[in-house]
Amino acid sequence: MGSWSETIVFLLVAVYIVTSSPLIKEKEPGADWPKRNSVKQPWADQNTTDKVVEATPTEKDVIDDILGEEVPTELSDIILKAADLTKNDVEKVDYTGAQVWKVATNKTNIRVIISRLHRRNLLSTWGGSQSSIDVLVKPNALQNVTRVFKRENIYFDVVIDDLQQRINEENPPLDQNELELQDRRGHRMTWKQYHRLIDIHGFMDYLAKTYPSIVSVKTIGKSFEKRDLKVLRISDGKPTNKAVFIDGGFHAREWISPATVTFFINQFAENFDVESDDVKNIDWYFLPVVNPDGYEYTHNVDRLWRKNRRPGIPGRACLGTDLNRNFGYRWGGKGASNNPCSEIYRGSRAFSEPESKALSDFIKSSGANFTAYLTYHSYGQYILYPWGYDNAVPPDYQDLDSVGKNVAQTIQQTGGSEYSVGSSSGLLYPAAGGSDDWAKSQGIKYTYTIELSDTGRFGFVLPTTYIEPVARENLAGLRVLAKQVHKT
Ligand code: 0X9
Ligand code: ZN
Query: Does residue 450's CB lie within 6 angstroms of at least one atom of ligand 1?
Result: no
| Sign of torsion over alpha carbons 151, 116, 376, 182 | negative
Q: Can you give the pLDDT at residue 32? A: 26
Q: In this structure, which residue's CA is closest to atom 2 in ligand 1?
A: 324
Testing ligand 1's pocket by substitution, the residue of 133, 251, 323 carrying the most ligand atoms inside 8 A of its CB is 251
Q: Can you give the pLDDT at residue 182? A: 87
| Interval between CA 29 and ligand 2 midpoint (Å) | 28
Query: Does residue 435's CB lie within 6 angstroms of at least one atom of ligand 1?
Result: no
Q: In this structure, which residue's CA is closest to atom 13 in ligand 1?
A: 388
Q: How far apart are CA 310 and CA 347, in angstroms?
A: 10
Q: What average pLDDT does the chain have?
A: 85
Q: In this structure, which residue's CA is closest to atom 3 in ligand 1?
A: 324
Please say if 451 is a catalytic residue.
yes
Q: For residue range 425-478, what is the model confidence (pLDDT) as tens digits?
A: 999 999 999 999 999 999 999 999 999 999 999 999 999 999 999 999 999 999
Q: Over 70: is that where the pLDDT of 487 sits?
A: yes
Catalytic option among 170, 254, 355, 451: 451
Contact by Cβ (8 Å): 139, 98: yes
Q: For residue range 368-415, what is the model confidence (pLDDT) as tens digits?
A: 999 999 999 999 999 999 999 999 999 999 999 999 999 999 999 999
Query: Does residue 474's CB lie within 6 angstroms of at least one atom of ligand 1?
Result: no
Query: Does residue 424's CB lie within 6 angstroms of at least one atom of ligand 1?
Result: yes
Q: How far apart are CA 449 and CA 65, in angstroms?
A: 37
Q: Over 50: is that where the pLDDT of 4 sits?
A: no
Q: Can you give the pLDDT at residue 61? A: 37
Contact by Cβ (8 Å): 329, 362: no
> Which burial class, exposed, middle or buried, applies to 332 when counting CB atoms under 10 A from its CB (0-12, 13-18, 19+)?
middle
Query: Does residue 324's CB lie within 6 angstroms of at least one atom of ligand 1?
Result: yes
Q: For residue range 110-153, what is the model confidence (pLDDT) as tens digits?
A: 989 998 999 888 999 998 888 899 999 999 999 999 999 999 99
Q: Over 80: is that where the pLDDT of 72 sits?
A: no
Q: Residues 6 or more apart from 439 whose CB is under 8 A from it?
A: 245, 363, 370, 373, 375, 447
Contact by Cβ (8 Å): 273, 311: no
Q: For residue range 161-192, what is the model confidence (pLDDT) as tens digits?
A: 999 999 999 999 999 999 999 889 999 999 99
- 7 φ, ψ (degrees, to nearest 5): -60, -40
Indicate the pLDDT class of residue 90, thresholds 50, 70 and 90: low
The helix or strand, by DSSP H or E, that contains position 134, with its residue range, turns out to be: strand 132-137
Q: In this structure, which residue's CA is closest to atom 12 in ligand 1?
A: 424
| Sign of torsion over alpha carbons 411, 415, 418, 424 | negative
Q: How far apart are CA 197 and CA 299, in angstroms?
A: 10
Extended beta strands in 352-395, E state:
370-378, 382-385
Query: Region 31-47: what's the mean pLDDT?
Result: 29
Q: How far apart are CA 376 and CA 249, in angstroms?
A: 7
> Which burial class, exposed, middle or buried, applies to 33 when counting CB atoms under 10 A from its CB (0-12, 13-18, 19+)?
middle
Strand order in the sheet with 123-128: 123-128, 132-137, 99-104, 156-160
Residue 448's beta-bridge partner residues?
A: 374
Contact by Cβ (8 Å): 269, 234: yes
What is the per-residue DSSP string for 307-345? S---BSSTT-S-B---GGG-SSSSTT-TT-BS-TTSTTB
Query: Does residue 132's CB lie within 6 angstroms of at least one atom of ligand 1?
Result: no
Q: In this structure, which residue's CA is closest to atom 1 in ligand 1?
A: 431
Three-class SS of 142-173: HHHHHHHHHHCCCCEEEEECCHHHHHHHHCCC
| Sign of torsion over alpha carbons 267, 270, 271, 272 | positive
User: What are the chain's domains?
Assistant: 4-89 (no CATH), 99-161 (3.30.70.340), 176-487 (3.40.630.10)
Q: Global pTM? A: 0.83
Helices (H) and strands (E) in the chain, counts: 16, 12
| Through-space distance between the first and last CA atoms of the chain, rounded to whole angstroms | 75
Angle, helices 142-151 vs 110-119, to 10°: value is 150
Give Cα separations from 434 to 339, 437, 448 (angstroms).
Answer: 17, 6, 11
- 372 φ, ψ (degrees, to nearest 5): -140, 145
Number of residues in the chain: 488
Query: Region 246-255: what's the mean pLDDT?
Result: 98
The helix or strand, by DSSP H or E, that contains position 284, with its residue range, turns out to be: strand 282-287
| Interval between CA 251 and ligand 1 midpoint (Å) | 9
Burial code of 247-262, b = ≥16 C-beta within 10 A, e = fewer?
bbbbbbbbbbbbbbbb
Q: Over 70: is that where the pLDDT of 337 sits?
A: yes
